[in-house]
Amino acid sequence: MTIKNVLIKVSLYCFIIASVTGFIASLKVALPTADSEWIDFRKIRPLHTFLALSAQIAGLLGLAQYILGRYGASPAKARSYVFTAFIVAGGVAILAGYYSGREYITWPVYLTPLLLTPVLANIFRLFRSGKALSAANPEGFWLLVSGHLFIVGGVVESHFWLIPSVGGNFVKDLTVQWHGIDTFIAGINISLYGVSVFLLNQQPKPLRNRWLYVIALFSLLFTFGHHHYVSPQPFSLKILAFAASMVAVLSLLKHTKEYKKQIRKKTGKDALHRLITAITFWMMISISSGILFAIPHVNLYVHGTYWIVAHAMSAMIGTNMLIIISGAYLLAGNAETPKPGLNTGIALTNAGLAVLWLSAGAAGIIRGFERVESDYLAYYHKIECVMYGFPVAGLLLIAGLYLMLRRLR
């Protein structure tokens, strides 16, 4: 099965390299005293984060291009090469020791225009084809537009630290940083959701009630404060964050309903069905864990532990990566026919995420409670044994990814 879309190919290769770098990073996490240049955590961790995010953005840009192409837009090879250049340049820079030194936005600042250019170009093309796209699928169109805009907004906001009055004030920088990161990640998630709505719905999905849209936006824009209830932010931001996070219960109910509908479908050995079932399952897990962790009494013990890593991975791997792989299968054709190895690949990916949840959860519980009464040096040895689960999870995820992708070219 052949894929012609350059960005989808780049995305899938990026996922493979990201999973390998993730496995290398997990070795350092499991064996922290291992002193080796090739698992210099200061390079491997930002590289892994960079590749994982780049893979998701490349995937959503590629799938958005495919959708635009269905409505008359011309192919945009230049955009594909610009974004590929961003990934290559960013990877080389991080390996050479040039990074931003910030969380999530790990690439050097001067490379950001290479990321923003194709996203902005996509936004422009979305509007040029806006009438046709919004007639074909109003909800899908608005999800794509909103998602792309939030990617741009989030990335720009994540660079506000360059303004001395922001970067020079730790508390302000921390707050703005969290808002920028949340908006950026939400933009990726929303865009991928929009892509799914277009690709999976034969009938146009109408716009939801505008008040539901307003509620969703409120949740998106104010939920960021739940990442740092404990920091000296204005109380107003914390309360808004709590309210915005609890609103996500509506989303959880909706996704739970969809998951029940999905598993009741009798579709035989339909390859796509299995992928969508896994996606809806992990989406349910990441939303429910997000709501749980946003409760202040729980957040006190969960914030700053590996629990958060598990939550993030179920969204990024279990949901976003699988959406892109589903899209790749749709583009390659014959998505409904059984694919040898795909079911095993999905099962191994699910198993890898489950092992990650168990390890990260155990490490998170130990750390969350132990750090109240004792020092890091006193309690860290209690976590070390459960950290061996990380490389095991990494191997399962690599194997799962290989089996899912080997039929695609």
Window 113 to 132, contacts with another protein (CB under 8 A): 127-132
Q: What is the chain's length?
A: 409
Reading phi first (left if > 0) and then psi (alpha if -120 to 50, else beta), residue 408 is in beta
Q: How far is CA 239 from CA 229, 230, 272, 287, 294, in A?
A: 9, 12, 41, 19, 11
Which residue is it, tokens 């709501």? 291
Which of residues 1, 92, 96, 171 is near another protein by CB under 8 A?
Answer: 171
How many residues touch another protein under the rule CB under 8 A: the total is 79
407 binds another protein (CB under 8 A): no
Residue identified by tokens 């796509």 is 272
Selected binder of another protein within 145, 188, 331, 362 (CB under 8 A): 145
Decide whether 3 or 64 has the Cβ nearer to another protein.
Answer: 64
Q: Show the tokens assigned to 241.
A: 């964050």
Applying CB under 8 A, the span of 33-41, 78-86, 334-342, 345-353 interacting with another protein comes to 33-41
Q: Which stretch binds another protein (CB under 8 A): 27-35, 85-93, 312-320, 392-400?
A: 27-35
Between CA 380 and CA 171 the distance in angstroms is 28
Nearest CB to another protein, comparing residues 107 and 259: 107
The CB-of-189 to another protein minimum distance in angstroms stands at 16
Q: What is the DSSP letter of 159?
A: T
Q: Using CB under 8 A as the criterion, what x/- string covers residues 237-256 for binding another protein?
A: xx------------------
Footprint (CB under 8 A) of another protein, residues 311-350: none
| Separation CA 81–CA 77 (nearest Å) | 6
| Cβ 317 to another protein shortest distance, Å | 18
Per CB under 8 A, the segment of 35-43, 112-120, 197-205, 344-352 that binds another protein is 35-43
Residues 6+ apart with CB under 8 A from 25: 39, 41, 44, 45, 48
Q: Who contacts 363 (Cβ-Cβ below 8 Å, separation ≥6)? A: 305, 306, 383, 386, 387
Span near another protein by CB under 8 A; candidates 79-87, 285-293, 297-305, 393-401: 297-305
DSSP 388: G
Using CB under 8 A as the criterion, what x/- string covers residues 210-239 for binding another protein? -------x---xx----xxxxxxxxxxxx-
81 binds another protein (CB under 8 A): no
Structural contact between residues 124 and 189, judged by C-beta atoms closer than 8 angstroms: no
* Nearest CB to another protein, comparing residues 229 and 281: 229
Residue 309 and residue 22 in contact, taking contact as beta carbons nearer than 8 Å:
no
Does the footprint of another protein cover residue 356 (CB under 8 A)? no
Tell me the Cα Rg of the chain: 21
Q: Is 407 helix (H, G, I), strand (E, B) or coil?
A: coil
> How near is the Cβ of 161 to another protein at its closest, in Å?
9
110 binds another protein (CB under 8 A): no
The residue within the footprint of another protein, chosen from 88, 212, 300, 385 (CB under 8 A), is 300
Residues 55-74 that bind another protein (CB under 8 A): 72
Nearest CA to 61 out of 1, 9, 133 is that of 9
Q: How far is the CB of 42 from another protein (least distance, A)?
A: 4
Residue 308: C-alpha distances to residues 40, 227, 283, 303, 396 (Å): 23, 10, 15, 7, 20
According to CB under 8 A, which one of 259, 306, 329, 357 is a site residue for another protein? 306
Nearest residue to 227 (alpha-carbon basis) of 159, 296, 135, 168:
296
Q: With binding defined as CB under 8 A, does residue 371 bind another protein?
A: yes
Nearest to 86 by CA among 66, 113, 61: 113
Is residue 204 involved in binding another protein (CB under 8 A)?
no
Q: Under rule CB under 8 A, which residues in 263-292 are in contact with another protein?
A: none
CB of 226 to another protein, least distance (A): 11
